[in-house]
A and B are shown apart, each in its own frame.
Chain A
Amino acid sequence: MSFPLLTATAVLPAVGAVATAAVPAARRTAAKWLALLVSLATLVLAAVVLARFEPGGARYQLTESHAWIKEFGVRYELGVDGIAVALIALTALLMPFVILAGWHDADPQETGSSRWRPTQGFFALILGVEAMVIISFEATDVFLFYIFFEAMLIPMYFLIGGFGDRAHAGSDEHAAAQRSYAAVKFLLYNLVGGLIMLAAVIGLYVVAGNFSLPEIVAARANGSLHMATSTERWLFLGFFFAFAVKAPLWPLHTWLPNAMGEATAPVAVLITAVVDKVGTFAMLRFCLQLFPEASKWATPVILVLALISIVYGALLAVGQRDIKRLVAYASISHFGFIILGIFAMTSQGQSGATLYMVNHGISTAALMLVAGFLISRRGSRLIADYGGVQKVAPVLAGTFLIGGLATLSLPGLAPFVSEFLVLVGTFARYPVVGIIATFGIVLAALYTLVLYQRTMTGPVKPEVSALPDLRVRELAVVVPLIAALIFLGVYPKPVTDLVNPAVKHTLSDVHKTDPKPAVEAAK
């Protein structure tokens, strides 16, 4: 038996989480270094996965399969396609930066009970989330996926509620109340989504008799498994609802601004750049493959919701006074693009959507983490409290600008490629939808540039006149992310090569082919 590489990639951060949590209270710094080392080791393993994966090879590679719960027909089945590999790489790549950026976020404020170890808990929870996210990207068994999809809510919940942003306008008590409200809202939204999915998971078992994604897809393709139209649609809705909450898609998005606003910047990155990707990833992997007909049936409605997300998210971002909430609404707009790309059902659209997931992860991480550095300096999240920062801290302002430009999809930076692909893919099948979605870009330019203008340019406000520029640790976080943005903006081929075969498989499962170009059709 070969080395269980995928299991190792997921187990390593889990073990690291336990080890970090066990570090004695006095050795806080050791816990931080341990967490960082574990996340780097996980990155190495993810790189090995990337290297061992052959894009042109079998659909699911590096597969592992073991009996687990026979009574439920559940197997421990792992396997990755190109999409999963790309997202695992993204997750593993972002984690060291998240940990590094949150280096001081969980330092205890007061020397209270010696048994209360917030720092250890913070980093252990982050590693725990990483483990669960990675295994849900790897799982090809619906039940296995569900377990971790749902279980990752708990560490996320503690991260949001337990380690809030200290830069809060109101009193400490008010901040704590806001934070626990955000955490509970996050949990309840996602839990309700997950429980509705649970009903659909059970329904799927009753219909199919097992949970193995490849087996069910194969059985449906060769006709040995028949699903009544209405059954398929109900099951699809159950799955899609959970993923749409997670993604989040309008009108199920309202938890995200609260959660991202109240959480510390690294945790906000964890939410939007990593955890939410599981939702869009699962739409591609589970919704489309398990329920191809129902996916096509629901496409018009989903496209409309995605469009609303794009425009509505962008509009609300324009109106935000709080930097982190602004990024949150921008993310909602971007998730609209991702979902649009997935349900356009064209190869450009879906490749673009996958690429978008990766790029959005990196660009949001860059923007949000720099914003976090800024906020921790001034102690306020309000845009109005800043002004003229670029004169005081030019490096900070410059990196902030690049992150912002990536968010508005400036050509030359990575998100441009993916947004372009999504729009082309959408336009090929639904021209009107493509045109409306383009407005999202215009609005993105508006909210990003206005944000930059108000905070960084203009006269230097007295409160920010003494802001220090980025430190070495912070530069170590930002520079690699920006380098990745530029690299993937100029040369996205490695990712597209990785993703394209998987997208072709998915499309053939949905029985969709790319529409012929209009010119060629006219010949």
Chain B
Amino acid sequence: MSAAAVHSLWTTAADPMLKIPAPKIEYGQLSPTLIVIGAAVVGVLVEAFVPRRSRYYVQAFLAVVALAAAFAAVVGLAAGGYGTTKAHIAAMGAISVDGPALFLQGVILLTGLVAIFTFAERRLDPEAHGNRVDSFAAQAASVPGSDSEKAAVKAGFTTTEVFPLALFAIGGMLVFPSANDLLTLFIALEVFSLPLYLLCALARRKRLMSQEAAVKYFLLGAFASAFTLFGIALLYGYAGSVSYGKIADVVDGSVQNIDPALADTMGNDALLLIGVAMVAMGLLFKVGAVPFHMWTPDVYQGAPTPVTGFMAAATKVAAFGALLRLLYVVLPGMRWDWRPVMWGIAIITMLGGAIVAITQTDIKRLLAYSSIAHAGFILAGVIATTPDGISSVLFYLGAYSFVTVGAFAVVTLVRDAGGEATHLSKWAGLGRRSPLVAAVFAVFLLAFAGIPLTSGFAGKFAVFKAAAEGGAGALVVIGVISSAIAAFFYIRVIVLMFFSEPKADGPTVAVPSPLTMTTIGVGVAVTVVLGLAPQYFLDLANQASVFVR
């Protein structure tokens, strides 16, 4: 809903004679989002009407089909030229359909699709009372350790709501990078955040930790949302509109007719600066940039691992998409103001993530800090403010998200009696016991470390090159240094897996169903293909690197 629409509602209330024009919605171009949200709604109905026995199958099937169909729709739109020549702003100015939006939607849908496979995995945990169980709590509402929980487990309940919840989150994420006004941005933010908070709380094992993670995530996320909303209000005061294009016009100084109602505030740079800072804060929170990263390790550790993998990959893609659009569409006119700040944030994010990761002893926390360091690398590309900067960030996000989903999928396999064995000491000697799983994880770690012949190197090279060409040479040097620091802890895990003697009471590697195998297989395939032959995907990212305004 655009600002104009908000105005018209307002004035209509005052003047009942005025007609409300029917909004023109391009359903075809919004179809990816509509399919996913529609399927999510159907999923809710399935929860209500389908018998408990068959819910799991119906839900999983529905989710997979919806994501695949939405991805097909994205491909169709891109093939129809909506990413390049026919890029435009749809839905009354609320949504932009352009290259970056379609590219990121494609990435989100694909990572969502492979992540859903890990959601549906039911072979890892031993059967409880003859029922196959997944990673999620039998009944989220029952108190951990209580009789009602035991009863729920015994009855074989499963929380199949995770599928519609994930679909809602994906729906929000699809809108987030394509939002073309601040209110749409905010709504998308809430639509994808709220289901994620819930998903975090649903772990079957270590439920207290999971719930704690969810509460932390929710509280901090609520703060961040509040900041964003306040920033949006200030920006409205500054520009007299929440539409990206109009704000950009005011920033550029090309708007003369000042709204009389806002005569006191319009064009007031203080409002602009504070507003932008607050909106950016909200986005940087979602991205997990230092100093807004505090939630990341706790939430990554506490959330059910399939959720962590999904969240780590897809949230980052969506949030960076929104950040790119905000900085490149709304604020190119004030890049001399935001660039130094972003410089600082990129530097402390890269270094902070890499340094703190060294001391971690839990694999999920380690990957959380590594994701922070990666956010810093991506920010280096964002700062370039060139078309190359956009395409390199797009490529990096695509490469990174598959590595992440794959890596967390491997984490779900390494288990002992207490569920997943995430403490690093338990991974000792894994390479001896299950060479294949350890080798696959090593590939992901090497990709995280940016070793050549993996997608991580191609991505890192792309963003650093863009940053260097954009005049941020110092940032490249710091990026390289933090890569070296980061390499240390990735290597440490490899050392543990391959060079340490396995412990007698070490974890076992569960043999997954084809679902998780698919996730891991796709992750490895993408990592290797993007490492050896990134040409096609770089081309794609390059073509997709123009924002519509």
Task: Decide if A188 touches B491 in the complex (CB within 8 Å).
Answer: yes
Task: Decide if A115 touches B468 in the complex (CB within 8 Å).
Answer: no
Q: Measured between C-beta atoms, what is the minimum distance from B301 to chain A in Å? A: 26
* Interface residue A223 (Cβ < 8 Å from any Cβ of B): no
Interface string of B516-533 (1 = CB under 8 A from A): 000000000000000000
Task: Decide if A147 touches B484 in the complex (CB within 8 Å).
Answer: no
* Interface residue B176 (Cβ < 8 Å from any Cβ of A): no
Residues in A with CB closer than 8 Å to B477 are: 199
Task: Decide if A176 touches B535 in the complex (CB within 8 Å).
Answer: no
Residues A195-235 near B (CB distance < 8 A)? 195-196, 198-199, 202-203, 205-206
Interface string of A111-145 (1 = CB under 8 A from B): 01101110000000000000000000000000000
Q: Measured between C-beta atoms, what is the minimum distance from A316 to chain B in Å? A: 27
Residues in A with CB closer than 8 Å to B492 are: 184
Residues in B with CB closer than 8 Å to A115 are: 434-436
Q: How many angstroms from the CA of A154 to the CA of B457 in the assembled complex?
A: 14
Residues A159-202 near B (CB distance < 8 A)? 161-162, 173, 176, 179-180, 183-184, 187-188, 191-192, 195-196, 198-199, 202
Selected from B446, B453, B473, B495, the residue in CB contact (under 8 A) with A184 is B495
Residues in A with CB closer than 8 Å to B457 are: 147
Residues in B with CB closer than 8 Å to A68 are: 535
Task: Decide if B473 touches A203 in the complex (CB within 8 Å).
Answer: yes
Task: Decide if B501 touches A176 in the complex (CB within 8 Å).
Answer: yes
Interface string of B417-454 (1 = CB under 8 A from A): 00000000000000011111000000000100001110
**What total count of A-B pairs have CB within 8 Å?**
101
Interface string of B450-467 (1 = CB under 8 A from A): 011100011001101100
| Most chain A CB inside 10 Å of its own CB: which residue of B452, B492, B498, B539 | B452
Task: Decide if A151 touches B432 in the complex (CB within 8 Å).
Answer: no
Nearest opposing residue in chain A for B388, CB measure: A71
Q: Measured between C-beta atoms, what is the minimum distance from B357 to chain A in Å? A: 15
Q: Measured between C-beta atoms, what is the minimum distance from B317 to chain A in Å? A: 20
Nearest opposing residue in chain A for B395, CB measure: A71
* Interface residue A158 (Cβ < 8 Å from any Cβ of B): yes
Residues in A with CB closer than 8 Å to B468 are: 202-203, 205-206
Task: Decide if A71 touches B535 in the complex (CB within 8 Å).
Answer: yes
Nearest opposing residue in chain B for A152, CB measure: B452
Q: How many angstroms from the CA of A71 to the CA of B390 in the assembled complex?
A: 13
Selected from B433, B469, B483, B491, the residue in CB contact (under 8 A) with A206 is B469
| Most chain B CB inside 10 Å of its own CB: which residue of A115, A162, A195, A199 | A195
Selected from B464, B488, B542, the residue in CB contact (under 8 A) with A198 is B464
Q: How many angstroms from the CA of A179 to the CA of B391 in the assembled complex?
A: 42
Q: How many angstroms from the CA of A245 to the CA of B244 in the assembled complex?
A: 51
* Interface residue B499 (Cβ < 8 Å from any Cβ of A): yes
Interface SS of chain A: helix, strand, loop or mixed?
helix
User: Given A115-B435, A176-B500, A195-B484, A72–B452 Cβ distance below 8 Å?
Assistant: no
Nearest opposing residue in chain B for A179, CB measure: B499
Q: How many angstroms from the CA of A180 to the CA of B492 in the assembled complex?
A: 10
User: Given A148-B452, A195-B484, A199-B480, A183–B539 Cβ distance below 8 Å?
Assistant: no
Residues in A with CB closer than 8 Å to B469 are: 206
* Interface residue B538 (Cβ < 8 Å from any Cβ of A): yes
User: Given A115-B436, A146-B452, A180-B495, A191–B500 Cβ distance below 8 Å?
Assistant: no
Residues in B with CB closer than 8 Å to A199 are: 464, 476-477, 480
How many chain B residues touch A (Cβ–Cβ < 8 Å)? 39
Nearest opposing residue in chain B for A206, CB measure: B468
Q: Measured between C-beta atoms, what is the minimum distance from A11 to chain B in Å? A: 13
User: Given A148-B452, A192-B484, A187–B434 Cβ distance below 8 Å?
Assistant: no
| Most chain A CB inside 10 Å of its own CB: which residue of B435, B446, B539 | B435
Residues in B with CB closer than 8 Å to A147 are: 452-453, 457
Task: Decide if A113 touches B432 in the complex (CB within 8 Å).
Answer: yes
* Interface residue B350 (Cβ < 8 Å from any Cβ of A): no
* Interface residue A150 (Cβ < 8 Å from any Cβ of B): yes
Residues in A with CB closer than 8 Å to B203 are: none
Task: Decide if B487 touches A188 in the complex (CB within 8 Å).
Answer: yes
Nearest opposing residue in chain A for B454, CB measure: A151
Residues A64-84 near B (CB distance < 8 A)? 67-72
Task: Decide if B495 touches A183 in the complex (CB within 8 Å).
Answer: yes
Q: Measured between C-beta atoms, what is the minimum distance from A205 to chain B in Å? A: 6
Q: Measured between C-beta atoms, what is the minimum distance from A481 to chain B in Å? A: 31
Task: Decide if B484 touches A162 in the complex (CB within 8 Å).
Answer: no
Task: Decide if A191 touches B484 in the complex (CB within 8 Å).
Answer: yes
| Most chain B CB inside 10 Å of its own CB: which residue of A69, A147, A187, A202 | A202
Residues in B with CB closer than 8 Å to A183 are: 495, 499
Residues in B with CB closer than 8 Å to A146 are: 452
Q: Measured between C-beta atoms, what is the minimum distance from B487 to chain A in Å? A: 5
Closest 6 A/B residue pairs (Cβ):
A147-B452, A180-B499, A71-B538, A151-B452, A199-B480, A195-B480
Extra inter-chain contacts (10) besides given A72-B462, A162-B498, A198-B461, CB under 8 Å: A68-B535, A115-B434, A116-B433, A116-B435, A176-B499, A188-B488, A188-B491, A199-B476, A202-B464, A206-B473
Q: List 9 A-B contacts (CB under 8 A).
A: A70-B535, A70-B538, A70-B539, A71-B539, A116-B432, A116-B433, A117-B435, A202-B468, A205-B468
